[in-house]
Amino acid sequence: MGERIFASYWLETGDDPQRAAEVIAGEQSSGTFVALPTETPELKRRSGARVERLEVIERVNTPSLPGGMQSDVYTRCALQISWPVENLGPSLPNLMSTIAGNLFELRQVSGLRITDVQLPPSFAEAYPGPAFGIQGTRELAGVSCGPLIGTIIKPSVGLSVEETAQQVRELVAGGIDFIKDDELQADGGYCPFDERVSAVMRVVNEEAGRSGRKAMVAFNLTGDLDQMKRRHDHVLAQGGTCVMVCLNSVGIVGLQAFRQHSQLPIHAHRAGWGYLSRSPHLGWDYAPWQKIWRLAGADHLHVNGLRNKFSESDESVIAAAKAVLAPAMAHKPMPAMPVFSSGQTGLQAEDTYRALGTADLIHTAGGGIFGHPTGVSAGVEALREAWIAAMKHIPLTQHAVTSRPLSQALEFWR
């Protein structure tokens, strides 16, 4: 009783900002477009959403999004709204309808982006969050400090089962910590999931028998729920230690139901994130989005990478990673591991470490490892040494004096 949910927004409106904020709070709780006699003051006090904060940022002359009300001036604001949990119960799907439902379609809105969400303790009781998180992942991967050095099987799709296993053979012989399927690799006829997993795990288990340390492979088991469960069981039976799920492709209920079944860390891919975030005037910031998925069970969350090949700024990448590392709730942190990828080499280690202050992350590189002139093993070692330098605050060129693989890597990393 008395618990509230708080969501923050960047709002642009052609209306009076206070009125627009009240319309949003109304539409998302007890109000509607026409005044109703049954919406009594008592009902409104009990169930109405509340405008907690409204700060004008700036005014502009043209609306960012079409379809809203016409005006000479559009006001941009920081808005915070709160809801009684009592309205919906501690439910992530119903949280979505409440904080990110119809409001984006309102005529009062010419720009709306959700920037934060704060959830009360009842949500932590309903959703246990990541089953493995940082600590559990480190234990399974046998990496007690520093980042997990990882890579992605490439080409994304099109390799046969045997070609995939051959690529994994090179990687595990080279001492890699982490390998993942591309998000496009699923259960196609040319490279069926079960056969791929069996062939890859045979290679991984053999190498683990030799080295005493088992590389973690995130197999993309994205699919319908019964398929995901069955595939998970196959991965587990073959001795696998991780599975991958594309979050936007399955949805919150899919992840939550899978989390209840899973005995392995869930590597969460954000494919489709662009359509949720690419307009600065619409959609989602990463902070609230990743929090919902963490509660639903994501152990690792993709955050792109510094100086990536996509369109995201470094500032946005670091903000995303910090959000993943920040406590989900004060009394229940539910830590997850950020995953850096896209155009990554050891050159990004220093800046990444400096920005985050931790190496509790997975750093995946493709060309940065495979491109090493003396092979995959040296590529993995070079990336690991670059992180040692970063964590010891030693300039990369200075540390390279002590590591031949690193000094060679500095020739082709750029």
Look at the block and give the residue holding tokens 């989900």.
328
Q: Which helix (H) or strand (E) holds 216?
A: strand 216-220
Q: How far is the CB of 402 from its own copies (least distance, A)?
A: 29
Taking the C-alpha atoms of residue 108 and residue 270, their distance in angstroms, rounded to an integer, is 30
Say which amino acid occupies 406.
L
Task: Give, in order, the Cα–Cα distances in Å from 37 to each of 40, 43, 317.
Answer: 6, 11, 49
Rank residues 188 and 373 by Cβ distance to its own copies and give the closer one: 188
Rank residues 253 and 401 by Cβ distance to its own copies and give the closer one: 253
Rank residues 8 and 98 by Cβ distance to its own copies and give the closer one: 98
Rank residues 124 and 157 by Cβ distance to its own copies and give the closer one: 157
Q: Is 240 helix (H, G, I), strand (E, B) or coil?
A: coil
**Contacts with 33 (C-beta within 8 Å, 6 or more apart), sequence order:** none
- Of 268, 205, 269, nearest to 235 (Cα)? 205
157-191 b/e with 16+ CB inside 10 Å = b?
A: eebebeebbebbbebbbbbbbbbbbbbebbbeeeb
Q: How far is the CB of 401 from its own copies (least distance, A)?
A: 28
Residue 71, token pair as written in the block: 């005006």
The total number of residues written for the chain in this structure: 414
Rank residues 353 and 413 by Cβ distance to its own copies and give the closer one: 413
Rank residues 49 and 362 by Cβ distance to its own copies and give the closer one: 49
Q: How far is the CB of 206 from its own copies (least distance, A)?
A: 22
Q: How far is the CB of 140 from its own copies (least distance, A)?
A: 25
Q: How far is the CB of 332 from its own copies (least distance, A)?
A: 18
Taking the C-alpha atoms of residue 166 and residue 381, their distance in angstroms, rounded to an integer, is 20
Q: How far is the CB of 383 from its own copies (least distance, A)?
A: 16
